Amino acid sequence: METRVAVLAIIVRRDDSVAALNDLLHQYGRYIIGRMGVPYRERGVNIISVAMDAPGDAISALSGKIGRLPGITAKTVYAPEDALRE
């Protein structure tokens, strides 16, 4: 199975969507390399980065599902294929 390396950038503006977000991340946990969350209380947001190594369709599916949660924005950045070692 061909996989891609990517980082999901997630901005959480509504606390009532956090449980659903965590459920989605748990569902895709086998693909997650690591994650880091930073609460930015002064601006009322939480910033989360999720590093993944997964099939492209799994990354897209997770990003899309997260982006449909109320008060949450998600964007994906893929590592260039020629920058990765085999």
Is 86 a member of any domain?
no
Question: Number of structural domains, the chain?
Answer: 1
Tell me the whole-structure pTM to 2 decimals: 0.90
Q: What is the pLDDT of residue 85?
A: 74
- Do strands 4-12 and 45-54 pair parallel, antiparallel, or not at all (unpaired)? antiparallel
Q: Residue 5 and residue 56: Cα distance in Å, rounded?
A: 9
Reported as a single tens digit per residue, the pLDDT across 20-71 is 999 999 999 999 999 999 999 999 999 999 999 999 999 999 999 999 999 9
What is the structure's pLDDT at 1? Answer: 77
Q: What's the pLDDT at 82?
A: 74
Residues in the chain: 86
| pLDDT beyond 90 at 83 | no
Question: Where in the sequence is the domain holding 26, given as residue range(s)?
Answer: 4-79
Kindly state whether residue 84 falls inside one of the protein's structural domains: no
Residue 85 belongs to a domain: no
Sort 29 into a burial class: Cβ within 10 Å, 0-12 / 13-18 / 19+.
exposed
Residue 72's CATH number: 3.30.70.1150
